[in-house]
Structure 1
Amino acid sequence: MNLTRILVPLGCLALLAAAWRAYGWMGAAGVAGGLVMWAMLHYTRLMKVLGRAAERPVGYVASAVMLNAKLRPGMTLMHVVAMTRALGAQQSPAGQQPEVFRWTDGTQSHVTAEFRNGRVRHWTLWRPPQSDDAQPAAETPAP
């Protein structure tokens, strides 16, 4: 179980109790207003990230190589969705841990990330093999 699920509400209650004890109802109202503002900021950020992601195809990223370079262990799924501006294509069964999502770019390279409890554990970058037929055109000398 994630310890922050217990500590954050307990910290909020302790802050409310300390404000009430020090300043009475005015202190408790001030702290409650601050906590509501904090919750609204997080909600607004979540809605902004999901709104941007709704405008792009599921599982698409501009550059899989750049996503691979920016990923770090412990990043939240919301942070990854904010970076890619797209929801990942789910590769694992729904509701089971670990969750596996894939983002693919225009060159068919893709990053497959494994999330456990909403945080990145590890990821892999796959790039399609380069064919030898894709030789750069030879320069023609100027006359």
Structure 2
Amino acid sequence: MLHEITHALAGRRHAHDAIWRTIARRIGSSGQRTVAPEAPTVEPAWIGTCTAGHALTRHRRPAGVRSCSGCSPRFDDRFLLTWTYRGRRLAVVGSRVRVTTAGRWTGAVGTVRRVAHARSHLAVPGADRLLTVPFEHAEEV
């Protein structure tokens, strides 16, 4: 946290230079660019797994199709990553899902038309527009 406060105090021009380090030490930070390995971390929401079993983690939703860089330095469709969000496999565009959240659309089955940051947008028969459903409330059928 002190690292980020230092950025706010130092300004954009001082990314990690001597002035940035001086301010960091003044407010009680170590002045290091990286965090100590034993510091607490936030568990990433996204985990990509390749066909060989390697795992790649992300805090933000991955954009586009990716392959495992550990298996091939260039894109290779033999090593595509399958993504999970908080332990659940992500329904891709075109797949059919059931709404599991309580409410008017409980149990409705629809087709995924779009995938946003943490939600799927579903085309459901009887709905006049796309339904927006959090990933954890849409199970693949």
Select the structure with the greater relative contact order (CA < 8 A; seq sep ≥ 6): 1
TM-score normalised to structure 1 length: 0.28
Higher strand share: 2
The structure with the largest alpha-carbon Rg is 1
